[in-house]
């Protein structure tokens, strides 16, 4: 190759390198019209201008990109032109247009940015809510979509569910898009009405509620029945049938089976994964209680309850007499008790004397015994007594009669030792005390006489001598004066005055 050719290629390569390095972005600036603030609904024009230094004849294709947000959150517009200035217009500004705007210029392998802040006063657009699907069964999920097409992200969306006309929050989410979706599960058939709101992330103002959307929510069980036969009153020995049935909604397409459970109180009796749970038996008194039918599909649970009372006929009553030692004396308290071992309430207790044609007392009680009391028995209360107990615990009225008992009320009260024992004991104790005092007194008296004789204190000629004898049996005793007869006279000892009745 000749030297001329090599020189040509060398100059060509150097020229290319000169093109890549001789294009420089000198200055970039973004401006807005209006400059710092705008009213909602008015247009906002953003203009990005750039100053470029380039060699003559070199191409100058400039890329302009407009973003909302200082972090280039949302791209508003992009364009490429050779002009050193480019404008982009927001036709109808909203409150969410408030914020930083960034212009990015790209030229070759060079990039430059500039930003400005604009505040827009006014209301935020009312969003639009859509829901899919519109027909669901309780326990299924729905998707809510809230749109704010004319607002500028970043935005925050809030979803609400209405209960008795009052909204309650069910979801909240921020996004750099103009819409957001939220999925939730319908837990009750009353979860039918929804709405949403939107606000700018950096704003305190919020839009009004969207128009509410109403969906159709069906119970997964189109029918749920709990039957007990016989339907009216159940008597002991009857054929007793409990049946729990369910029919599922036509909207259910899954293979999930329904679980049916019958319980009595807290005890499970039977369980089934078909459309029926059933119990058949002869009714007994133990079958009385609260029964519950549980129908469960996924997380949906339905409960039906029924009270069962098995009526039991009364047993033969027994008549008992309450009296001391089965002896009834005039003036005694007399109690008659008519009792049954079993029988459904209420029970009618009737007391008779002598003849079954006429009763003297009757009571209707929720109890297994009836009582009649004579506070003070009289001889006229003597006679033959019996009672009857009855209830409606069978196909026919059930009535049972007790045995007969004879009561004889005595006119004179017998002497009862138990009444006199306390008195006898008290008199005996009093007698023993008096006897002890008497013996003690006589001993003291003799001792004093002997002491006086030894001291020569007795006077002669039958003169009565009074001697003062001081003897304290206890520290607090008073001094006693004793009349002592002369040695020539006669005297008698004092006796105890205790009277024993």
Per-residue pLDDT tens digits for 3-16: 444 433 444 444 44
Q: Is 281 helix (H, G, I), strand (E, B) or coil?
A: strand
How remote is the C-alpha of 69 from its chain's centroid? 51
pLDDT of residue 15: 43
Report CA torsion sign: 461, 462, 466, 467. Answer: positive
Give alpha helix (H) positions in 373-416. none
pLDDT of residue 196: 97
Distance between CA atoms of 471 and 447, rounded to whole angstroms?
10
Distances (CA, A) of 90 to 185, 207, 459: 39, 20, 154
pLDDT of residue 133: 94
- Cα-atom radius of gyration of the chain, to the nearest Å? 58
DSSP code of residue 375: S
**Sequence-ordered list of residues with C-beta below 8 angstroms from that of 427, at least 6 positions apart, any chain:** 500, 501
pLDDT of residue 358: 87
Q: HEC string of 184-207? A: EECCCCCCCEEEEEEEECCCCCCC
Distance between CA atoms of 441 and 427, rounded to whole angstroms?
21
pLDDT of residue 117: 93
Distance between CA atoms of 222 and 89, rounded to whole angstroms?
57
**Sequence-ordered list of residues with C-beta below 8 angstroms from that of 89, at least 6 positions apart, any chain:** 43, 44, 45, 46
Cα atoms in the Cβ-side hemisphere of radius 13 Å centred on 352: 13
Bridge partners for 136 per DSSP: 217
Which residue segments constitute the domains of the chain, with CATH numbers given? 23-121 (2.60.40.10), 128-218 (2.60.40.10), 232-247+254-311 (2.60.40.10), 318-410 (2.60.40.10), 421-484 (no CATH)
Distance between CA atoms of 157 and 197, rounded to whole angstroms?
6
The per-residue pLDDT string of the chain (501 residues; one tens digit each, 9 = 90 and over) reads 444 444 334 444 444 444 445 678 889 999 999 988 998 889 999 999 999 887 776 667 899 999 998 888 889 999 999 889 999 999 988 888 888 999 999 988 889 999 999 998 888 889 999 999 999 988 889 999 999 988 888 899 999 999 988 999 999 999 989 999 999 999 888 899 999 999 987 777 889 999 999 999 988 888 888 999 888 778 888 899 999 998 888 888 777 788 999 999 999 999 998 889 999 999 988 898 999 999 998 878 889 999 998 888 899 999 998 765 567 888 888 899 999 998 888 999 999 998 888 899 999 999 999 999 999 999 889 889 999 999 987 656 788 999 999 888 888 655 555 656 777 888 888 888 888 888 888 888 888 888 777 665 444 444 443 334 344 444 444 433 333 333 333 333 333 333 322
pLDDT of residue 17: 41
Chain position carrying tokens 């005890």: 267
**Sequence-ordered list of residues with C-beta below 8 angstroms from that of 186, at least 6 positions apart, any chain:** 136, 137, 138, 139, 140, 141, 142, 215, 217
């Amino acid at each position: 190759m000749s030297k001329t050719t090599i020189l040509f290629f060398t100059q060509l390569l150097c020229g290319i390198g000169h093109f890549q390095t001789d294009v420089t972005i000198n200055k970039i600036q973004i401006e807005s019209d209006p400059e710092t603030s705008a009213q909602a609904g008015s247009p906002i024009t953003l203009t990005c201008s750039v100053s470029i230094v380039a060699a003559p004849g070199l191409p100058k294709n400039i890329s302009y990109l407009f973003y909302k947000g200082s972090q280039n959150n949302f791209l508003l517009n992009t364009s490429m032109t050779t002009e050193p200035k480019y404008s982009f217009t927001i036709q109808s500004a909203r409150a969410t247009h408030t914020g930083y705007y960034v212009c990015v210029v790209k030229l070759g392998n060079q990039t430059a940015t500039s930003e400005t802040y604009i505040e827009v006063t006014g209301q935020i657009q009312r969003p639009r809510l859509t829901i899919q699907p519109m027909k669901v069964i309780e326990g299924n999920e729905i998707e809510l979509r809230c749109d704010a097409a004319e607002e500028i992200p970043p935005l925050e969306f809030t979803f609400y569910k209405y209960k008795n006309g009052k909204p309650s929050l069910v979801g909240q989410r921020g996004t750099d898009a103009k819409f957001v979706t939220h999925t939730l599960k319908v837990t009750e058939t009353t979860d039918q009405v929804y709405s949403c709101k939107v606000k700018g992330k950096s704003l305190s103002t919020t839009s009004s509620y969207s128009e509410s959307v109403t969906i159709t929510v069906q119970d997964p069980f189109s029918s749920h029945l709990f039957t007990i036969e016989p339907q009216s009153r159940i008597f002991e020995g009857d054929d007793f049938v409990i049946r729990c049935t369910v029919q599922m909604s036509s909207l259910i397409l899954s293979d999930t089976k329904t679980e049916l459970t019958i319980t009595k109180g807290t005890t499970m009796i039977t369980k089934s994964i078909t459309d029926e749970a059933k119990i058949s038996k002869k009714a007994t008194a133990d079958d009385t209680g609260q029964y519950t039918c549980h129908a469960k599909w996924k997380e949906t649970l339905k409960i039906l309850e029924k009270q069962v009372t098995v009526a039991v006929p009364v047993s033969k009553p027994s008549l008992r007499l309450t009296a001391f030692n089965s002896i009834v004396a005039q003036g005694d308290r007399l109690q008659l008790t008519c009792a049954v071992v079993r029988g459904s309430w209420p029970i009618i207790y009737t007391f008779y004397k002598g003849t079954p044609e006429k009763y003297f007392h009757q009571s209707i009680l929720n109890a297994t015994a009836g009582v009649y009391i004579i506070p003070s028995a009289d001889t006229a209360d003597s006679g033959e007594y019996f009672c009857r107990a009855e209830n409606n615990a069978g196909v026919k009225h059930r009535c049972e009669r007790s045995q007969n008992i004879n009561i004889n009320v005595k006119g004179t009260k017998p002497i009862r030792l138990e009444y006199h024992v306390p008195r006898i004991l008290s008199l005996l104790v009093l007698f023993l005390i008096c006897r002890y005092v008497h013996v003690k007194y006589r001993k003291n008296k003799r001792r004093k006489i002997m002491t006086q004789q030894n001291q020569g204190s007795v006077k002669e000629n039958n003169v009565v001598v009074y001697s003062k004898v001081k003897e304290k049996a206890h520290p607090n005793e008073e001094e006693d004066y004793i009349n002592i007869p002369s040695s020539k006279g006669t005297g008698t000892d004092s006796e105890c005055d205790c009277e024993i009745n």
